[in-house]
Amino acid sequence: MARITFTFEDKDIPTKVVENAEEGYSILEITEDNDIHLNHNCGGVCACSTCHIYVEKGEEDLEEISDKEEDFIDRAINPRLESRLACQCIILDDNAEIEVEIPDQKQIIGHEH
């Protein structure tokens, strides 16, 4: 099982580590299954930018970024080189070690789980 460490721009939220992330699942699905708050207005179909995250480590163990995803990242709040959409970050390796920072969700109006 892959290991994903979630840190948060909002430093009031403690780091969360998920040890049982399965290959074939998206980072968004992992947040849903582990009660980690991440907005997602379009339901995970790459049609908005509300599930914007920063992949700090393990990019090589995620599905490659598409042109469509890049277009939506350009619309996200504070995009950086390591920006991705969680709905498009499919885990490719059960042995992956991934580190993700979740932007401050208070800035985003969107669907909460």
**Per-residue pLDDT reduced to its tens digit, 79-93:** 999 999 999 999 999
Q: What is the mean pLDDT of the chain?
A: 94
Ramachandran sector of residue 69 (left: φ over 0; alpha: ψ -120 to 50; beta: rest): alpha
Nearest to 29 by CA among 3, 56, 21, 112: 21
The pLDDT value given to residue 107: 76
**Per-residue pLDDT reduced to its tens digit, 47-76:** 999 999 999 999 999 999 999 999 999 999
pLDDT at 111 over 60: no
pLDDT at 45 over 80: yes
Q: Which domains does the chain have, with CATH numbers?
A: 2-107 (3.10.20.30)
